[in-house]
Amino acid sequence: MTTQILPTDFPEDLKSSVSEAARLLAQGEVVALPTETVYGLAADALNADAVAKIFAAKERPTFDPLIVHIPHKNDLDMVAEVPENIAKAVTKLIERFWPGPLTLVLPKKACVPDIVTSGLPTVAVRASSNLVFNRVARTLGKPLAAPSANRFGAISPTSANAVRAELDGRIPLILDGGACLHGLESTIIKVEDVGESKPRFVVLRPGPITMDDLKPFGRPVLLKNLKGDHKIEVPGQLPSHYAPRTPLRLLEAPDDFIPEHGKTYALLSFCGDEEDGYLKLADWKQTFVLSPGKGKMPEAAVRFFFALRELDNLGVDEIIAEPMQERGLGIAIMDRLRRAATKR
Ligand code: AMP
Ligand code: MG
């Protein structure tokens, strides 16, 4: 199969590219589309055969459920039921964050095939704010299942070229919508009524909507900090993910790195500041600074997966990554870095 990349830059490109994507999706094909988080590999979420092609192209195990993207923020009832005891909180979250990078895990409707949810009674749902994605979803008029458009476990793609590097020859079409606005996958939460005045938001995956963003609406708690008071289903959250082929080591402290003779290294640095006790840039032949200068988290997030891809292509023996502060977006970036550093 040849993989076509179609542009969306000008109105006439956008129109013809969107209709070609919608035509393929209506036929039960898969198409890679830009979203504001990362590029997704989309299929009609209500067509089990189409969704099976996503798993095949990505070589994704079927125990890892997909996120469903509804065409419009008011379309939640296409795929999910909202329990009455959390309805008010869910409405407020949708009003504030949709369309955008927040995914809600809710009880699923019967029309959603088991392959989408890995047999779970719940479905993960969001509404994307990306113009190209929206046009396609609205032209098709159906929810789209769309995990990141990379091979399973590999680096998420934040450009059409990155999708091609991952899935060339395996999918018919990529719509090129340029770079992704956020560059990190959506925040995933489960809203729970725990009998307190505020609902609890269990953050299953940290992302662009931060703990601070969520606080006015409930009590967010990171899954890893959840006390053992109840079990929560966490499918597909594997310790190794987002991983380059090159081994990646995440430093805990500057002194942790002692180069081995004869080995080659590349450095992934947050801001490239030589005075913060971290590594001197000048000592490194190969570096990627995520946000040069003061180090801004949103810029680091946007460039993060691109940086991993670039460093991975250098052919060094090891990528060394500096940690960053685990606050705000730094929680999501550090989550990706830890998984990237874990051996498969
Ligand atoms: P992605 O690969 O970015 O589409 O993200 C899919 C991830 O969403 C999965 O790996 C799960 O961690 C999570 N997810 C999807 N559906 C569910 C669900 N029903 N319950 C809990 N987590 C889910
Ligand atoms: Mg993914």
**Which tens digits make up the pLDDT trace of 2-32?**
999 999 999 999 999 999 999 999 999 999 9
Give residue 38's pLDDT.
98
| Ligand 1 pocket: which of 103, 204, 223 to mutate (most atoms within 8 A of CB) | 204
| Ligand 1 geometric centre to CA of 290 (Å) | 27
pLDDT at 229 exceeding the cut of 60: no
- Give residue 271's pLDDT band: very low, low, confident or very high (50, 70, 90): confident
What pLDDT score does 252 carry? 83
Give the dihedral sign, CA 160/161/166/170: positive
Residue 37 confidence (pLDDT): 98
Distance 264 CA to ligand 2 centre (A): 29
pLDDT at 90: 98
Specify the pLDDT at position 254: 65
Q: Which residues' Cβ are closer than 6 Å to ligand 1? A: 64-67, 105, 117, 120, 122-124, 147-148, 185, 188, 204-205, 233, 235-237
Question: Domain 4-176 falls in which CATH fold?
Answer: DHBP synthase (3.90.870)
Say what the pLDDT of residue 231 is. 58
Mean of pLDDT values over 104-113: 98
From 58, 64, 79, the mutation candidate for ligand 1 (largest count of ligand atoms within 8 A of CB) is 64
* Ligand of minimum distance to the alpha carbon of 157: 2
Pocket test for ligand 1, best of 59, 60, 66 (most atoms within 8 A of CB): 66
Q: Which range (278-282, 308-312, 327-331) has the least confidence?
A: 278-282
125 pLDDT above the threshold of 70: yes
What pLDDT, on a 0 to 100 scale, did the predictor assign at position 236?
67
Q: Binning pLDDT at 50, 70 and 90, where does residue 237 land?
A: confident
Q: What is the pLDDT of residue 344?
A: 74
Q: Where are the alpha helices (DSSP H) in the chain?
A: 11-26, 48-58, 84-97, 114-117, 131-140, 160-167, 211-214, 297-312, 329-341
CA–CA distance, 70 with 205 (Å, rounded to integer) = 20
The DSSP code sequence of 120-168 is: -SEEEEE----HHHHHHHHHHTS-EE--BSSSTTSPPP-SHHHHHHHHT
pLDDT band, very low/low/confident/very high, at 294 (cuts 50, 70, 90): confident
pLDDT at residue 71 is higher than 70: yes
Please give the mean pLDDT across all residues of the chain. 94
Sequence ranges of the domains in the chain? 4-176, 248-341
* CATH number of this structure's domain 248-341: 3.40.50.11030
